[in-house]
Amino acid sequence: TAMIAFGMMFQLICGYFDMSVGSIMLLSAIAAGKFTMMGMPVPVVIILTLLVGLVMGCINGFLVSIVGINALIATLGMQYVGYGAAMLLWNEVRTLQAFDDAYIMLGDGEFGGLYVMTWVLLVLIVIFSIFLKYTTGGKKLYFVGGNREAAKLIGFNDKRLVFLAYAATGVLTAMAAIFRSAYIHKPTQYMGEGIHMTCFIACVIGGGSFAGGKGSVIGALLGVIFMSLLTNMFNLLKMSPELQNVVVGVILVVVVTLDGMMNMRKLREQGKI
């Protein structure tokens, strides 16, 4: 979940978001099962699965940044496309009993007392934190999200940056699908369900904003931890799924409202409204 949240945080920094990550995750996991059933070696399965996520992310990026379609419409449309494609493949993959042992090690394997996926997550945190804080590319993301018109005047290619943010999210989502499916030993038709809202809420709670220009990898991670603790609390209280949805919905409305109020106050202070 944190891996996907990192990608979504990149998008929020640019002032965009992605509602299709759940179906990208589902499609990537089922595609990995299909590649496995075709007898491909594990490294090839991993590479092709990451390519599936990359292609979906690039399509989103093309629709939003190049064509100029509203991010909500474009990514919702791709959500249906991804889900439909996943279900077409699912009819062929449902008989898969388990992935190869080498693939499963990505989910079950441990090193130094931590899961392999945890080590990968820690590496990603370090890389992305350095990228956002110390590199020109990372600073451009904040600048494009904070003031797109000024970024254009300076000469920043905002379309390319947004496109790359969506492409990176697709790859990170496919990576998350690999680890999740390896952890449960096979793909399922429910993988990725609702994860787009979990990541979205986590990113906003972690410091991201609709208005763009702010956010961090650590903030996204803390937001994911908050959502995980919330889910654990639901389970401990034996709360019904219906009531859980109500609580999560209320949290979403409150978080988005507070974000909007803060952005409005910022614009008033700047004399823009």
pLDDT at position 273: 62
The 3-state DSSP class for residue 171 equals helix
Residue-wise DSSP of 66-83: II---HHHHHHHHHHHHH
* The pLDDT of residue 15: 87
**What pLDDT is attached to residue 42?**
94
Work out the pLDDT band at 19, boundaries 50, 70, 90.
very high
Q: Which has the minimum average pLDDT: 113-122, 211-220, 251-260? A: 251-260
Residue that wins the pLDDT comparison between 239 and 54:
54
What separation in angstroms does the CA of 5 have from each of 8, 161, 172, 187?
5, 18, 9, 21
Output the six-digit token pair for 193: 């369900």
String of DSSP letters for 244-263 = HHHHHHHHHHHHHHHHHHHH
Confidence of residue 128 (pLDDT cuts 50, 70, 90): very high
Neighbours of 156 (CB within 10 A): 16
Cβ neighbours of residue 18 under 8 Å, at least 6 residues apart? Answer: 7, 8, 11, 60, 71, 75, 166, 169, 196
At 32-62, the pLDDT tens digits run: 999 999 999 999 999 999 999 999 999 999 9
For range 57-75, the mean pLDDT: 94
Residue 225 has pLDDT above 80, yes or no: yes
Is residue 129 scored above 80 in pLDDT? yes
pLDDT confidence of residue 270: 63
Average pLDDT over residues 216-230: 93
pTM over 0.85: yes
Q: What pLDDT score does 271 carry?
A: 67
The angle, 0 to 180 degrees and rounded to 10, between the axes of the packed helices 2-14 and 158-183 is 170
pLDDT band at 74 (very low <50, low <70, confident <90, very high): very high
Tell whether the model's pLDDT for residue 261 goes beyond 90. no
User: Each residue of 153-184: pLDDT tens digit?
Assistant: 677 777 888 999 999 999 999 999 999 999 99
pLDDT mean across residues, the chain = 89
Query: Mean pLDDT throughout 256-265?
Result: 81
